[in-house]
Each structure stands twice: as structure tokens, then as C-alpha cells.
Amino acid sequence: MSTPPVDDADVPRYWQALGLPGLVDVHVHFLPERVQAKVWEYFGAAGTHYGAEWPVTYALPDEERLAILDRLGVRAFPTLPYPHKPGMAAWLNEWSAGFAAARPQVLQSATFYPEPEAAGYVAAALDGGARVFKVHVQVGSFDPRDPLLDDVWARLEKTGTPVVIHCGSGPLAGEHTGPEPVTGLLERYPRLQLVIAHLGMPEYREFLDLAVRYERVHLDTTMFATDFTERLMPFDRADLPRLSDLRAKVLLGSDFPSIPYAYAHQLEALHRLELGEEWLRAVLWGNGARLFGLEA
């Protein structure tokens, strides 16, 4: 068994030792500059929102962040935009399509909000090459079962396009966070290819249940098991065997760039779960490569 990376410069040594061609990270954000600045402003005041300081490690211009991901060996990643109000999603989708163009490592991303235009712009995004969607239940403050989204979910169930959904109640609870709304959504659309962000923290167990029950439900590791998260929302180690069994459904996610520690620490956090090299190979590369049809 190799040793975990000590810092970002050591990350390529780590995935090479595992015999991997690099990393697939399903939870990376690139946003229009003004939107990104607002998000960082929010994290800057994190003490008031989260009760914990949240210094953003990679608050750098786009090109520098792209270069960092390249040096880390992240071969594929999305940009995961998300709106906090109506009338914003279509514009975010257009921006995201532009960002992904001529950058083959970027998985073209899109989003939606419960509004009458949603089915139309989601169809347009799919036709325009979107490969992954993002939904943020707490920031958007909507019930994913909102009838205005019926046609959107039906379409995404049919296409099987992965949807990264932040639906757990951590780090902040919202009116519609927690397992219940998503459970109801899956009862109606059981073939949705959902990727539960942050492993559903802090409701890990209930979201593990959903990944067991529904064939296409995945979990991403974003911030999971890091020192930061373990202090705020610890994972019950009694559930580690279940996480091991779900090897084919767990995907590396990081939340780069807005993380309060180095990228390498996310890998170290997964490594020290001691679920074995096969598990790490599946999580860090294999599952994401399969989901997005990537070649080594």
C-alpha cells in the first residue's frame, strides 16, 4: 500500500503508485467571475454562516486554477454552476458551454431552477452538449419535487445524464434539504443518475441507503472524511463496510477551488479510511471514467 500525498506537488506520485492515468473529480466549480466573487465573499464571512472559518485555498484567476488541476493530474472535471434565484440558469448554462469549449478536460455542465422555462433550456443544454447537471437544494431553496421540474427530471431520467445534487443538510440545513425530498423524487424517477454531493452529509446513512436501493444513485466524496468535516459532521465508522460495498458508486469530488485546505488533503482523507487500493482506484478514476465515458 502506497502512502498518501503529503502536499499537492506529491499528488501525481500518489495516483501513479495506484497505477492510475490521473484523477476524475466530479465536483469542481468554475463560475462567471462576478458569481465566483460573490461565493468567495460568502465563504469569507463563513464564521457567521457555518460557525467555522472557511479560508478558500484556491481563490485564484481561472487560468491559474486550470493549471493547478492540470498539475494535480485531474483529467476530467465539471464546472457545476447553480442559481440561487429564477432567471439565472439559462445564462449560467451558456457561460458554462463557452467555458467547456476548446477545453477537452472540462465536462460541460448545466443547471436548472423550478421555473416555466426550465424544460426548454435543459433540452437546449443537452442538445448543446451538456454532460452533467448541478442542483443545489439549499442555495436554490426549492423542493426538487416541484411540479415545474417534472419534465426536466423525466428528460434527465431518459438521457441518464448525471446530476450532482447537493441535498444533504450540511454544512447548512435548508427547508428542503435532507433525505426525504430526494427519496420522493426517486420514487417518481427511479432511474435518475443522481450523484449525491458530499456523500449526503450529515445524513450519510440515509443517503447510503438510497445508493443501495437505487441502481443509478451515486455518492461523491466532496469534503468527506477531511479533518474539517470530521470536526463538524463526523461519519460513523460503523458505516465504513457499507461504503466499501458501494465501491462502484462512490466518485471522487473535492469542491475545488472553494476548500479550506489543500487538494491533497481530500485524497489523504480517503486514503486513511483504509478501504484498500481497489476501492481507491474505483473512486479516484474508474467510476468517473465509466460514468462519463472517458478513455485512459
DSSP string, 231-260: HHS---GGGHHHHHHTGGGEE----BTS-S
- Min dist CB 43 to Zn ion, Å, is 11
Angle, CA of 12, 241 and 174, to the nearest 5°: 80
Question: Which of these ranges, 37-45, 69-77, 168-176, 251-259, lies near Zn ion under the rule CB under 5 A?
Answer: 251-259
- Min dist CB 111 to Zn ion, Å, is 12
What is the three-class DSSP state of 220?
Answer: strand
What are the grid coordinates assigned to 278, written together? 481497489
- Min dist CB 135 to Zn ion, Å, is 11
Q: CA 111, 267, 292, 278 torsion: positive or negative?
A: negative
* Interaction between residue 25 and Zn ion (CB under 5 A): no
- Min dist CB 27 to Zn ion, Å, is 6
Nearer of residues 73 and 78 to Zn ion, judged by Cβ? 78
Q: Which single residue brings its beta carbon nearest to Zn ion?
A: 255
What is the three-class DSSP state of 278?
Answer: helix
* Interaction between residue 255 and Zn ion (CB under 5 A): yes
Residue 100, φ and ψ in degrees, nearest 5: -75, -25
Nearer of residues 125 and 135 to Zn ion, judged by Cβ? 135
- Min dist CB 180 to Zn ion, Å, is 21
Nearer of residues 22 and 78 to Zn ion, judged by Cβ? 78
Nearer of residues 254 and 287 to Zn ion, judged by Cβ? 254
Tell me the number of residues near Zn ion by CB under 5 A.
1
- Min dist CB 253 to Zn ion, Å, is 8
Question: Which of these ranges, 30-38, 48-56, 170-178, 253-261, lies near Zn ion under the rule CB under 5 A?
Answer: 253-261
Q: Cβ–Cβ contacts within 10 Å for residue 128, how many?
A: 15
- How far is the first Cα of the chain from the last one, in angstroms, to the nearest whole number? 22
Nearer of residues 255 and 268 to Zn ion, judged by Cβ? 255
Angle, CA of 108, 26 and 200, to the nearest 5°: 125
**List of residues contacting Zn ion (CB under 5 A):** 255
